[in-house]
């Protein structure tokens, strides 16, 4: 099955005429900066270290390789590959190793607590970027849980982790802190900063509150398989699905400090409209991936209170099929303001207008071609002009 799917994707990519991009005349001389952009995929995703990215690029999908397109226009863009179902902590450690060309160190304290090996893959000699430092800063762009991964990485870069430093004399440089000025900007796309009710609903389905629909029976196992955490005896809490529960996500982002001098942007997504009952239903004028259509409807009317006391009411109803638009604006505990191009501030979430599309729309969608190149050209042009 996998080989047939790979052949099909390769054939489609071969037939897409826009896959080879002529270089465009940009005007880098008018940019204030031109730092490298590192793109980080979401749950169940992949990046440049993965073979499948050459067949079906995560960034661009069937619309063509977005990294190649942006690089041809003078922007230096790379895509990372982190554990599809890993926790934000594990993914942040993997991302740091790729950025610095070192071996992954999950931390002595964390690995002991979570019951898995301390060290992972070695990226010596194959770093994603060259010379990551205060001089060679990075602009981060994260989709979905990739945004959460970047946020946790930023906090560790800036503040380190005292527990890990105490647990091992040879602790990774990531846990030593003092590197907050290595980041220029962070942009999060459809990121579940405060968790998502999709996972509350999943728990209710497992408990028998809801009966799985046909599309959930078909697609949910595929999604869960693609984002399954490593089967190495680790505790279940050390996973992306656990980190995206509302209480856990709010607790995590509450402890992440914003960094002075770093620019923060977010783009929430939404593919719902209000129905006659006041609930949110799928906007049929927009494409929605088949595997999120039932979830769109469930999330659009879901009410509950989390174990931590968070009231899941109508504010949470607008959604993109996997993440609530309300949650994707910014962490509840962080300063935020609506985006104003004439008044962009650092150390504040500049919340950009809601993008009308489903959860995968900003990566180009999966079973539908959504051309998003101009979105990224405009975004990167704005960031380089800061």
Please report whether residue 154 resides in a domain: yes
Distances from the Cα of 285 to the Cαs of 282, 348, 356, in angstroms?
9, 34, 10
Higher pLDDT, 156 or 5: 156
pLDDT at 319 over 80: yes
Please give the mean pLDDT across all residues of the chain: 91
The per-residue pLDDT for range 138-192, each reduced to its tens digit, is 999 999 999 999 999 999 999 999 999 999 999 999 999 999 999 999 999 999 9
Could you tell me if 368 and 65 are in contact, meaning their C-beta atoms sit under 8 angstroms apart?
Answer: no
Query: Where residue 8 falls among pLDDT bands split at 50, 70, 90?
Result: very low
Query: Where residue 27 falls among pLDDT bands split at 50, 70, 90?
Result: low
Mean per-residue pLDDT for 101-116? 98
CATH code (residue 133): 3.40.50.1820
The per-residue pLDDT for range 240-255, each reduced to its tens digit, is 999 999 999 999 999 9
Could you tell me if 139 and 38 are in contact, meaning their C-beta atoms sit under 8 angstroms apart?
Answer: yes
- Count of C-beta atoms within a 10 Å radius of residue 321: 28
pLDDT at 115 over 80: yes
Phi, psi of 352, rounded to the nearest 5 degrees: -80, 165
Question: What is the domain extent for residue 205?
Answer: 30-384
The per-residue pLDDT for range 40-65, each reduced to its tens digit, is 999 999 999 999 999 999 999 999 99
pLDDT score of 213: 73
Q: Per the structure, how many domains does the chain have? A: 1
Instruction: Report d(CA 198, CA 298) in Å as an integer.
Output: 8
Please report whether residue 51 resides in a domain: yes
Could you tell me if 321 and 295 are in contact, meaning their C-beta atoms sit under 8 angstroms apart?
Answer: yes
In sign, the C-alpha dihedral spanning 58, 59, 61, 65 is negative
Alpha helices (H) along 34-115: 52-55, 66-71, 88-100, 108-114
* DSSP-derived pairing of the beta strands 183-189 and 263-267: parallel
pLDDT at 71 over 50: yes
In sign, the C-alpha dihedral spanning 220, 223, 226, 227 is negative
From 10-24, 32-46, 283-297, 369-383, the region with the lowest mean pLDDT: 10-24
Residue 291 DSSP label:
G
pLDDT at 133 over 80: yes
Please report whether residue 45 resides in a domain: yes
The pTM for the full model equals 0.91
Could you tell me if 40 and 140 are in contact, meaning their C-beta atoms sit under 8 angstroms apart?
Answer: yes
Could you tell me if 62 and 369 are in contact, meaning their C-beta atoms sit under 8 angstroms apart?
Answer: yes
- Count of C-beta atoms within a 10 Å radius of residue 55: 16
Could you tell me if 330 and 345 are in contact, meaning their C-beta atoms sit under 8 angstroms apart?
Answer: no
Higher pLDDT, 10 or 237: 237
Backbone angle region of 259, left / alpha / beta, with phi > 0 → left and psi within -120 to 50 → alpha: beta
Please report whether residue 277 resides in a domain: yes
pLDDT score of 5: 39
Please report whether residue 18 resides in a domain: no
From 32-36, 84-88, 215-219, the region with the lowest mean pLDDT: 215-219
The per-residue pLDDT for range 188-229, each reduced to its tens digit, is 999 999 999 999 998 887 777 777 776 666 566 656 665 566
Please report whether residue 167 resides in a domain: yes
Please report whether residue 136 resides in a domain: yes
pLDDT score of 10: 44
Please report whether residue 297 resides in a domain: yes
pLDDT at 327 over 90: yes
């Amino acid at each position: 099955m996998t080989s047939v799917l790979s052949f099909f994707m390769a054939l489609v990519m071969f037939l897409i005429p826009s896959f080879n991009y002529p270089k465009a005349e940009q005007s880098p001389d008018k940019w204030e900066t031109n730092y490298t952009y590192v793109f980080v995929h979401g749950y169940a995703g992949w990046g440049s270290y993965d073979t499948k990215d050459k067949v079906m690029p995560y960034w661009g999908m069937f619309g063509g390789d977005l990294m190649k397109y942006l690089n041809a226009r003078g922007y230096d863009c790379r895509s990372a590959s982190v554990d599809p179902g890993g926790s934000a902590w594990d993914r942040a450690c993997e991302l740091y190793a790729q950025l610095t060309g070192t071996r992954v160190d999950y931390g002595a304290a964390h690995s002991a607590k979570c019951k898995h090996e301390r060290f992972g893959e070695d990226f010596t000699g194959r770093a994603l970027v060259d010379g990551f430092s205060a001089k060679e800063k990075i602009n981060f762009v994260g989709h979905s849980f990739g945004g959460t991964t970047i946020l946790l990485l930023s906090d560790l870069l800036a503040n380190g982790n005292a527990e890990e430093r105490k647990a091992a004399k040879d602790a990774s440089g990531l846990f030593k802190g003092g590197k907050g000025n290595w980041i220029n900007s962070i942009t999060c796309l459809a990121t579940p900063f405060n968790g998502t009710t999709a996972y509350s609903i999943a728990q209710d389905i497992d408990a028998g509150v809801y009966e799985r629909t046909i599309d959930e029976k078909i697609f949910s196992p595929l999604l869960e398989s693609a984002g399954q955490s490593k089967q190495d005896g680790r505790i279940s809490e050390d996973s992306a699905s656990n980190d995206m529960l509302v209480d856990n996500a709010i607790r995590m982002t509450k402890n992440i400090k914003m960094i002075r001098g770093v620019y923060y942007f977010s783009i929430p997504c939404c593919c719902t409209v209000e129905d006659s009952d006041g609930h949110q239903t799928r906007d049929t004028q927009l494409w929605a991936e088949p595997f999120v259509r039932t979830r769109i409807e469930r999330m659009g009317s879901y009410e509950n209170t989390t174990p931590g006391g968070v009231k899941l009411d109508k504010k949470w109803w607008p959604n993109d099929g996997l993440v609530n638009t309300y949650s994707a604006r910014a962490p509840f505990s962080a300063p935020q303001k609506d985006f104003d191009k004439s008044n962009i501030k650092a150390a504040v979430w500049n919340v950009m207008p809601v993008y009308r599309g489903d959860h995968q729309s900003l990566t180009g969608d999966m079973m539908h071609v959504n051309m998003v190149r101009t979105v990224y050209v405009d975004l990167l042009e704005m960031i380089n002009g800061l």
